[in-house]
Structure 1
Amino acid sequence: MRGEGERAHCFNGSLPLRLDDTGGTEEINEISGADPFVCTTQAIADIVILVDGSWSIGRLNFRLVRMFLENLVSAFSVGIDQTRIGLAQYSGDPRIEWHLNAFTTKDAVLDAVKNLPYKGGNTLTGLALTYILENSFKPESGARSGVPKVGILITDGKSQDDVIPPAQSLRDAGIELFAIGVKNADENELRAIASEPDNTHVYNVADFSIMSSIIEGLTQIVCERVEEQDKEIKGESAGQETQGAPQDLVTSEVAARSFRVSWSHAPGSVEKYRVVFYPATQGGRPEEAVVDGTENSVVLRYLNSLTEYQLAVFAVYTSSASEALRGSETTLALPMVNGLELYDVTHNTMRARWSGVQGVSGYMVLYAPLTKDQASDEKEMKVSDAVTDLQLEDLTPATEYTVTVYAMYGEEASDPMSSQQTTLPLSPPKNLVFSEVDHNSAKLSWEAASRKVTGYRIMYVKTDGLKTDEVDVGPVTSWTLNDLTSATEYEVAIFGIYDEGQSEALSGSFTTDPVPEPLDLQASEVTAESFLVSWGHSAPGIILYKLTWAPYDGGDTKEMALSGDVDSFLLSGLSPNTEYEVMLQAVFKDQSESDAVLVVETTLARTTTVATTTPVVRQAVRGLQVQEETTYSLEVSWQLEDPKVDQYRVTYVSLTGDRNEESVLVPGQQTTVLLQPLLSDTEHKVTVTPVYTDGQDGISVSSVGRTLPLSAPSNLRVSEEWFSRFRITWDTPPSPTLGFRVVYQPTSGPGSALETFVGDDVNTMLILNLQSDTEYTVKVISSYTTGSSQPLQGTAKTLYLGVTNLNTYQVMMSSMCVQWQPHRQADLYRVVIESLLNGQKQEVSVGGSASRQCFYDLTPNSQYKISVSTQLQDMEGPAVTTITTTLPAPTQPPTPPPTSPPLPTIPPAKEVHLYFSTLSVPGVTNLNTYQVMMSSMCVQWQPHRQADLYRVVIESLLSE
């Protein structure tokens, strides 16, 4: 920081600085609680007040002007033999309200002020200044020789004529001018009118209502100038001692609430130094510190943090003060807490601790959930300076909270330190197991969630259904679901119920069994007109059986309903030597029906035998079973113990009719055969015919079997989520497979589908090299010899590798800082700042525990984009950005007007010649013009003693 010497008015006494409405400083005498200033000097003066009475002021504001004038008059000893005060009002044409010698007492002048009429009109300040020079400061108007003369102008707008030559004429006549501007006044015009120095002779306020704020400063300066003029008039020296301003302003020991100001001593005998300081922002109240003249530094305390202060140092002598040595300094930010840690997290509490800060009065802790619908639920805690570890209670489970800690210094707070943490979810139950699954019920078992659980809510729904069923149970660990639909997949979710709410779900799925078919349907006791069918009961709850039979090659179909406890039935009235197809279905209490089981049997032929001839018995196959189904094969077995059977002919065909009948020959000693390859999920009719050694066929027996469908895997689960990977697990289907195809790709955004194949003994896979914070669609497909299953589909998402809560602070003209919430696993952060004006960049890498970075040498009033990228091992997360604008550079003060007014200029136009002459006026001398303007001028001459009148003619000679 560099000190800078500036011109300033010096005067006796300890007077604070005033901030005027333009941000500049002027010395005033306003001290809180002091009595109104009264000028006690023995010197007297002639003071003429020139008041703007134009229409722009308004009658209401004119009343405030009267009050201001009353306070001004009250500060002086007014009388015919003391200070005299005259007043003129102007607008388009000025007029004298009263002369200097009009009143003999102060009370009379005050009465005249109170009754001052409002004139109205345009603002012609230059004409009014000339008017008071010619009419108010004259002996006949009460002006006295050898007495200091003061003119005080009060105006609210810019003059419509030139003010520089009339003001210069007044100053040349020894009249000291003060200019007071209100509201819309032109400050440059005020400076052109007033005497030097400007900072003691020019006043500019924003509104009439605050004119009273400058009255004491104005009256004190006027009083001092009257005293000094009086001494100059009487030939007395205003000061013989060596005087001067201090030099080399330096600031040091800068902190948040204080800094030291030092300077080099001023010359001569300095009684004391006054250090005046105030915030640079508009409206800051000036304060001062006073030290003995032997001191050359002082510590300014109790300042606001991160605030620029303007400084002025005055050397005070016995009868005057020096000009100001000026400078500025900005306090630092208040020390903030660091090391904020959130730990011991439960579902409804967490603890916060931080490193203590010296000098604080306490800490303020704010915490609120980050979810939008709970953003207003912010809580505040204030603790003493001794507390640096605190438990936060009554939190919402499974909710991310922002915790912010401020170091408090009285009522002022430091910059915040923030951190985020998510409360734990309510503990869900674990290890869901499905058992005792049949066609209409299933038992669920799980491990208890917590001792605090009050019960469980079980929700289940068909995978392809819309209606969800729900049941609430007590704190049990198993439950049986009844009245289910057979051969249907169900999704199940179990929630733990707590006083605070509901836990996350424990999910799983199962598929009910098909309605069980009757067991081991067989035909026996075959005759030419009948045979017996028998079976076994497949499950309890069967209320009846539907038995249907008909000739295989076509004919009447017969049907019989049998009680559920029957296990055989004799089919009679059949045709001899005819193949019959018999189907049996079980019907249960819930009206569900099983698939039909089928048996094919051929009645015996009706034969006639000769008594002497022995018939050849051709036995039929017994106990034909089709079992061990797979997706592409069926195993066929039967019974027949006849040594005369040479081989068996096994014929099979799909009942869909899209394939030709095929057959295989099996040796006579073999009673099983594996049929393959077959169509999956297809019914096949299998017929076994014994072939005897003589080449004759025995009686054929048929049955129907169904290959398994191409089952998909089930119960897809996701675990071990990370920034670039996750694990998927699935349950394998009941049918043997060749393996599984795993297909995954981003749900949205760039990225093509990737696929891998695993063997049939694998049901889990760790998927690597993924994008962070990305949701993926995952499909698992069973591969079979005859094709592929429908996909088992789900979604999984990688973790977010990026910072949160990015924001800027301590934004200055050429620097700014950025802070963020650190990522737990970060190794490094890459921080880049880029100017949006010219594209210039700065880049820095900081450690994974860092949470802030500052940048310098920036351009004022420019937009900057700051990006923070998290780096973990060989990965870099997405850049998180914020845009901030640096503060603008301070506006330079206006250049003061020249001390001597420039000659008026006339814009180029047609040349105009002006000639003046006096007519019929003998003896006129010293004829000359003055105040020559673009559209006006004045003429003066030496009067003739005997003249009765003058006739003055002006003529324009316009050159063509």
Structure 2
Amino acid sequence: MLAWTALGLALSLRVALAQSGAERGPPASSPQGDLLFLVDSSASVSHYEFSRVREFLGQLVAPLPLGPRALHASLVHVGSQPDTEFSFGQYNSGASVQDAIRAATQRMGDTNTGLALAYAKEQLFDTAAGSQPGVPKVLVWVTDGGSSDPVGPPMQELKDLGVTVFIISTGRGNLLELSAAASAPPEKHLHFVDVDDLHIITQELRDSILDAMQPQQQLRASEVTSSSFRLAWLPLLTAKSGYYLLELVPSAEPGVVRRQQVPGNATGWVWAGLEPDTDYDVALVPESNELFVGPQHLRVRTLPEEAGPERIVISHARPRSVRVSWAPTLGPAAVLGYHVLYGPLQGGTAQRVEVPAGQNSTTLQGLTPGTVYLVTVTAAFRLGQERALSAKACTLPGERSRALPLPDTRARGP
């Protein structure tokens, strides 16, 4: 009877450990990837706000499948200089990462986010920092909405390398700038939340992170034009371990092959001199004597000869309206229409106007007097591609109220 009781206790303990995930860590089917938290730790954030962000991140990671065969997490502080709180692979469970986040201390100093983004890029792809080669990369940037240095260029480099970027702004921030910095679509990757309401987005953000960690095509095309496109891929080799062979073939002419060899530390290439409105089959073949990595394939269609908006003209400026015109496309039959997105340059809600393909101008109304707006005109082609161009527009100062006539105080005769 004693033996059966001991066995029952052991089985109960084993079941409890398995249910808590503490016995063997994440299952073999767990997604793999690197998750980096970039947290504003500067003096622009109060100690209370920092503590609330810290609590939010701890709750966010606790149920995630972290471990040697699953997700790796790291936390980097934004300050005068970027500083790593803990690196990838240092902790192998959600509970241990949660404890490490809650023990993090604020660094203070300036808000040099651009510098921290460049540092995060190095960490995400540095095996010495514990990063995993050839797995999805996710960056979660928590900010109060401001930065002391430019954010756009280093953020674009991260996205060009295939990093999925989520942004949580606890301040006002600039909607257009943060929308451009987040991965597309911004409505899924950008959240404006008061620091006391961060718990509202916890589950949604956690699900989105796990979705981004699913295996995905590592070879991607961007900046597609009528004669070129840019390829980008996650690092699969190093400069010492091998090189890549790129092949480009028009789908209708399989015998016409263009080849290009690039070093093993390359993560992108631009194919130029292409024919418009043409399907191209692309292959990325990693060549290495140290490890086997399978080839990647992709089909890309160049844009038609018709161009998107080439020039934006702002006219008829009034206190509450401006006229926006653009050079029409050469062949409007290939264009579904235009999207005009506009919003205050210094932050505020962006609005969108749909313009039919046969028109090349619209009047933006209901604007604020004396305000600079950023206007972006996007041509949507029938084949699914888009071309965009932006310009600044400034409304006139508010109209002064007309002066009332003064009473006539001159003496009048009888």
Normalised to the residue count of structure 2, the TM-score between the two structures is 0.46
Normalised to the residue count of structure 1, the TM-score between the two structures is 0.21
- For the pair shown, the structure with the greater C-alpha radius of gyration is 1
Q: Which structure carries more strand by proportion? A: 1
Q: Which structure carries more helix by proportion? A: 2
